[in-house]
Amino acid sequence: MKFKRRTWLAATCLLAAAASPLAWAQDYPTRPIHIVVPLPPGGSNDVLARILGQKMAESFGQPVIVDNKPGAAGNIATDFMAKAEGDGYNIAIAPNQTVAVNPVLYPKLPFDVLRDLQGVTLLGRVPMVLVVSSKVTATSVAELIAQAKASPDKLSYASAGSGSPQHMAAEVFKSMTSTRLTQIPYKGSAPALVDVLGGTVDVMFCPINSALPHIRSGKLRALGTTGTKRLALLPDVPTIAETVPNYESDIWIGMVAPAKTPPAIVNKLNAELRRSLALPEVRDKLAEQGIFAESSTPAEFTKLIADDQKRWAAVIKAANIQPE
């Protein structure tokens, strides 16, 4: 009888242990949630965090605090998340630069994104547009390619730094068109765009939200967009892929959590974020900022990160890109 009783007690304890994460997830959250943003306030990543954080707070009945942790091209924030407690109270905005490019650009990072983090959901995409200053005579992607081939290295392009989306978009373009353009790196998109507007630099692959006002005013000429479909905001501007087949280099942004976060909590966060992203007022607010809402399952987003790491590793190796 004693043996049977001990067996029953052991089984009961195992069932209770197995059930506790689910019960924990049902109660979650019971205190404030922190959304870490790897870049300064004001950009697309910050906008996403604040709009979605407000919706999460309304739904969960708990404060959602946005913590901006910029620095080291986003590696400071990613390192923080990799070491954070996996309890669902620290989650992070994850643009492709920090989780897909940096891990294959920087050789000795103190974290492994695919080991230390897990995807929660894709949040949206920010298309880029290939623009030229008023000093450049090219009026199409084909003409720009022709000019670049006629005078290798003469045309310059502005980037927000090594490994930035603007840099990677240009490197893919150069590789696929067999052209040579000279990179002029800046510390961020804003100063880069200023010099393109001033004619100091010729070309830029620029996020649509930053470029659009200057395209509409005539200060910049849009030659092509970087996605697979034309944009409703610029219906007359072709995709670069219409001239350079299979070209694509958009910015995507998602949400990640520490790898040890229980699946039940990740699924609860996923459901809430996808619900918020489906709301017309949220989609409209994001679209005003040039962010196009898009969601996924946790597994789909984790796979996107892994696939893009492989893609950018090949680009970085072929172009011999070095971190700054």
192-235, pLDDT tens digit by residue?
999 999 999 999 999 998 999 999 999 999 999 999 899 988 99
Of the candidates 81, 28, 46, 6, the residue with the CA atom closest to the CA atom of residue 209: 46
Per the structure block, which two tokens stand in for 12? 């009961």
> Over 70: is that where the pLDDT of 317 sits?
yes
pTM of the entire predicted model: 0.86
Of the candidates 186, 183, 196, 151, the residue with the CA atom closest to the CA atom of residue 320: 183
pLDDT in tens, 55-79: 999 999 999 999 999 999 899 999 9
Nearest-angstrom CA–CA distance, 255 and 48: 10
What does pLDDT average to over the chain? 92
pLDDT in tens, 257-297: 999 999 999 999 999 999 999 999 999 999 988 899 999 99
DSSP codes joined into one string, 52-70: HHHHHHHHHSS-EEEEE--
Domains, the chain, in order of start with CATH, read: 32-125+252-319 (3.40.190.150), 128-242 (3.40.190.10)
Query: Sign of dihedral through CA atoms 285, 290, 294, 295?
Result: negative
Residue 79: predicted pLDDT: 97
Q: Where are the beta strands (DSSP E) in 145-294?
A: 156-159, 182-185, 203-207, 221-225, 251-258, 292-293
Between the alpha carbon of residue 182 and those of residues 112, 156, 298, the distances in Å are: 32, 4, 39
Residue 189: predicted pLDDT: 86
Residue 171 main-chain phi, psi, to 5 deg? -65, -40
Nearest-angstrom CA–CA distance, 296 and 283: 15
By percentage, how much of the chain surpasses pLDDT 90?
A: 79
pLDDT band at residue 309 under the 50/70/90 scheme: very high
